[in-house]
A and B are shown apart, each in its own frame.
Chain A
Amino acid sequence: MSEINEKKSIGNIAFSIFKYLMLIAGSLVAVIPVVVCVFTAFKTEAEYQSTSPLSLPKSFFYLENFKVAFKQANMARGFLNTAIVLVVVLVLSVLMGSMLAYVLNRFKFVGNGLIRNLFMFAALLPGIAMQVTIYQIMNALGLINHLYGYMICLMGTDIISIYIFLQFFENLPVSLDESAIIDGCTYFGVFFKILLPLLKPAIMTSVVLKGVGVYNEYYASSLYLQSKELKTISTALYTFTGPYGSQYNYICAGVLITIIPILVIFLIFQKQVYGGLAAGAVKG
């Protein structure tokens, strides 16, 4: 008996060692490409030329590369534009997504199923492929090279938050609405006063997921925001492909400037991010 236990515990210890080795290896692979970038971003020109990319910089207080990158790519403007787009798109998508989900979930009417299916099918259409003809429509409506045009386009192609809200409504009891209506509430009142506050977890999830998507969006902004003062943070970063071709000390600094905000948000909202993923996954 004791022999079996001993065998087991040796097996367990071996498994533990294996487990941690693997997890450490996996984490290293995930982190090394970014960490190397951090090292490089803090190196002076001479240091960058002469040292191995794997070596630590002399000082983590050398910020010149960040200054140059920030200025050169006009990132102040990029951050401002991205911030405006984020606020407007997030607020409006949360409102529109939750309102639509409320109507689809709470009311039976002709066309309810059809509308759900239209949104489902829309999720199947490959985004980048659709831009070929969306470009035409944006052009016809005069929405190209306007920040509001880009925002409308982002909201128009947003299906994820609708899914998240629809799912959340399924678990909100209808009795809530009914008792409010008996108390004399209108449907609008039910939605804004009773249900919207209860949607908070779903709102968090959709804001985090959609927020990451909007912050990282590149393709549409490269098509629809071509003038210099309309660059978003992604298109600003992309300008490094040109003049700084292979000066990776500047490029890495630029990359880090764009990553830091999202890293901070991720560390604060980890739970919501993981939870939101799981919620989205059920739908596929």
Chain B
Amino acid sequence: MGKEGKTFKEWFGSRKVQRYLVIFTFMFLPLLLLLMFTYIPFGKMIQFSFYNMKYIGKRTFVGWKNYVEVFNRPEIFKSLLVSVYYMLGGFVQLALALFFATMMVFKVKGESVFKAAMFFPYLISGIAIGFIFKFFYARGYVLDSIVAMFGVAPENIPMWLQDTKINNISLAATSVWRYTGQNMILFLGAMMSVDSDLYEAASLDGANKWHQFKYIILPSIKSIVVLNIILSISGSLSAFEPPYVITNGTMGTGTYFVMMNRIAHENQKVGLASAMAIVLLIIIIIFTVLQKLFFAYVFDNGTDDESKAAARKRKKQAKQ
């Protein structure tokens, strides 16, 4: 009865209606965009992967043929092998980042200058980095001059981008150059969350730098290191910009995405490209699930609390 007595204004002003109104208005656009640019394309990608088609024109259903082709085309398989270079590069990058972050945990004068210098490459666009390294590796220019300074005869200097034995290393190195500083900042952040008293206490107890690294620093960043190892694996599978800009994927430098880009936009084999995308997605999902399982079993949970708990435990031990 009371309900009928309410005016529209009262009804509209009620908490419950207000609640739904705010939920609806605040979520409408983000969800619409999510649908339009993520889930509809995703659905279409699955659908297209079963068709032989171009962007425009007739489509024919071909079943699993595109997937079979993904695994049987030699250039696609080769592009997965190219990813191995980026994966190894990823490990080098993590090791370097860990090393430099460790150096910076101990008091460093001019820390912000070193940090900024090493981090800045991360902010440069992939295209600009491409040009910088095209110039860097070009015959007779930067790297050749540096190598010559160390007394290497010109005829012994390899062609950094043309020699198929080393060109993928040259390209993967640009990735290492770009991301090492960023990883370093991440690691440093985790290391800094350890109480600095701990280092002092440890050095008073006579622990050397290696022990400090092994027993204080490493445990505090274990989870973020593992996370970055997994990220660098999926990152290396999706490497795109270095070969795309510097060599355009020629001379055996085409990564999976460079191949996919070519197949999708130059050859217009949309179905095959979609199948490639789905295969990559499945690989990435497998790695993500492995990561989740790893965190669940090794650390009990996937949060950073682990490092804090470890730090606390060690502090206790140090006090005893």
Contacts and interface: CB of A to CB of B under 8 A. Distances in A.
A134 B39 CA distance: 10
B287 to A, nearest CB: 10
Interface of B: prevailing SS: helix
A19 interface: yes
Interface in B209-252: 209, 224, 227, 231, 238, 240-241, 245
A277 B189 contact: yes
Nearest to B181: A30
B288 interface: yes
A130 B38 contact: yes
Contacts of B186: 277-278, 281
Given A118-B34, A128-B261, A234-B125, A29 B114 contact: no
A36 B270 CA distance: 42
B128 interface: yes
B288 A124 contact: yes
B86 interface: no
Q: Which of B38, B126, B245 has the most CB of A within 10 A?
A: B38
Contact of A156 (B38, B113, B224, B231): B38
Interface in A7-24: 11, 15, 19-20, 22-24
Interface of A: 11, 15, 19-20, 22-24, 26-27, 29-34, 36-37, 40, 52-54, 96-97, 99-100, 102-103, 107, 109, 115, 118-119, 122, 124-126, 128-130, 132-137, 139, 152-153, 155-157, 162, 186-188, 191, 212, 215-216, 218-219, 223, 234, 237-238, 240-241, 246, 248, 251-252, 254-255, 258-259, 262-263, 266-267, 270, 273-274, 277-278, 281-282, 284
A20 B303 CA distance: 34
Given A103-B23, A237-B125, A134 B117 contact: no
Given A36-B135, A277-B189, A284-B227, A130 B41 contact: yes
A218 B227 CA distance: 27
Contacts of A30: 117-118, 120-121, 177, 180-181
B117 A31 contact: yes
B260 interface: yes
Contacts, number: 238
17 contacts: A22-B100, A27-B114, A30-B118, A31-B117, A32-B146, A99-B30, A103-B27, A118-B34, A129-B280, A136-B44, A156-B33, A187-B18, A237-B128, A238-B245, A248-B135, A252-B131, A254-B131
B123 A212 contact: yes
Contacts of B138: 246, 248
Contact of A103 (B26, B118, B276): B26
Interface in B144-193: 145-146, 149, 177, 180-182, 185-186, 189
Contacts of B238: 126, 128-129
Nearest to B184: A26
B62 to A, nearest CB: 17
Interface stretch (B2-10, B65-73, B104-112, B308-316): B104-112
